[in-house]
């Protein structure tokens, strides 16, 4: 069984009388340790698919299975229990970083909630992760605003990976960064993906970025899949 199996997913937004079918009959799988790139223009439904997997929007039709288990419509407590298995990195690092808390606290918190242990062990995991994402150990006592945009995103990546999740949804994680920093963060994420063996769903509007990190690509247009296959082949095609 694939780690993630999205089968015939449709998602509809309703605002008053207005209905938008943002995602239509979308099917794909992600294998263990695989990175799937989800690309398409703005408004094509990429984020909506990510949110459906995270349980943040309801599926209108279709099924989402994680490690063989149907997670399409989970009660809140069961969904919360999935937090250690499914993590997310957003475009804005402040989505996962509290500006009022030092970095060490922000990275230790998920461990204390989902995988508690002796204080020194938790601290060592935090420091090891900070080193791995290229930040000094002194980062632990500093606050998000004291870092550059690229460093903040490294910290958000560290937070997403600190519990060794099985799946990481990355929604435009480098799109807000300077071009010169984007490749750096992509390379860091690719390295962490390989080392951790986690599966990544990598959402981006920019094929030239996403093909570097993806094994396979799904191309979306107006909520539907228009192409799906090997990343290098799709990127090379005219
Ligand atoms: P992408 O991530 O590819 O930019 P989205 O998934 O954000 O695309 O959006 C897909 C479609 O759904 C767009 O037409 C967008 O306007 C619409 N949409 C997204 N979020 C909402 C919402 N909360 N309410 C209504 N429509 C939405
Ligand atoms: P590189 O710098 O890796 O050689 P290319 O010259 O192949 O990039 O691509 C230049 C631009 O064309 C990039 O911005 C990329 O997004 C786009 N591009 C390349 N291949 C495709 C494709 N198969 N479909 C759509 N866009 C593509």
Q: What are the beta bridge partners of residue 221? A: 224
129: Cβ–Cβ under 8 A, 6 or more apart, which residues?
A: 107, 158, 161, 162
Output the CA–CA distances (angstroms, integers) from residue 42 to 12, 35, 204, 221, 228, in the order listed.
17, 21, 9, 9, 18
pLDDT tens digits for range 82-141: 999 999 999 999 999 999 999 999 999 999 999 999 999 999 999 999 999 999 889 999
- Indicate whether 6 pLDDT > 90: yes
Cα–Cα distance list, 201 to 61, 77, 168, 189, 211 (Å): 21, 24, 6, 12, 12
Q: Is the pLDDT of residue 237 over 80?
A: no
* Average pLDDT, rounded, for the chain: 96
- Is residue 81 within 8 A of residue 166, CB to CB? The reply is no
Ligand nearest to the CA of 222: 1
Q: Write down the ipTM of this complex.
A: 0.77
Does 207 contact ligand 2 (Cβ within 6 A)?
yes
Ligand 1 and 10: CB distance under 6 A:
no
Helix (H), strand (E) at residue 109: helix 103-114
Mean pLDDT of 14-40: 97
Mean pLDDT, residues 144-160 taken together:
98
Ligand 2 center–CA 232 separation, angstroms: 11
Ligand 1 midpoint to CA 139 (Å) = 36
The pLDDT value recorded for residue 235 is 87
Do β-strands 35-39 and 199-204 pair in parallel, antiparallel, or remain unpaired?
parallel
pLDDT per position as a tens digit, 155-202: 999 999 999 999 999 999 999 999 999 999 999 999 999 999 999 999
C-alpha–C-alpha distance, residues 210 and 161, integer Å: 19
**What is the pLDDT at residue 101?**
98
pTM over 0.95: no
């Amino acid at each position: 069984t694939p780690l993630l199996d999205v089968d015939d997913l449709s998602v509809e937004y309703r605002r008053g009388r207005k209905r938008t079918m943002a995602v239509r009959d979308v099917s794909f799988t992600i294998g263990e340790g695989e990175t799937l790139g989800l690309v398409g223009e703005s408004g094509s439904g990429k984020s909506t698919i990510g949110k459906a997997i995270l349980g943040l929007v309801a599926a209108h039709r279709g099924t989402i299975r994680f490690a063989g288990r149907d997670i399409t419509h989970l009660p809140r407590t069961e969904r919360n229990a999935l937090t250690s298995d499914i993590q997310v990195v957003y475009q804005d690092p402040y989505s996962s970083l509290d500006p009022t808390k030092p970095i060490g606290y922000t990275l230790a918190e998920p461990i204390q909630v989902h995988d508690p242990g002796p204080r020194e062990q938790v601290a060592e995991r935090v420091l090891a992760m900070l080193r791995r994402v290229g930040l000094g150990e002194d980062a632990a006592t500093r606050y998000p605003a004291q870092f550059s945009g690229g460093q903040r995103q490294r910290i958000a990546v560290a937070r997403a990976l600190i519990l060794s999740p099985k799946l990481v949804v990355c929604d435009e994680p480098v799109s807000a960064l300077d071009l010169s920093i984007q490749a750096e963060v992509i390379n860091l994420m690719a390295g962490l993906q390989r080392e951790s063996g986690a599966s990544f769903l990598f959402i981006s509007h920019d094929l030239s970025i996403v093909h570097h990190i993806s094994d396979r690509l799904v191309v979306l247009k107006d909520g539907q899949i228009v192409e799906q296959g090997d990343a290098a082949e799709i990127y090379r095609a005219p």
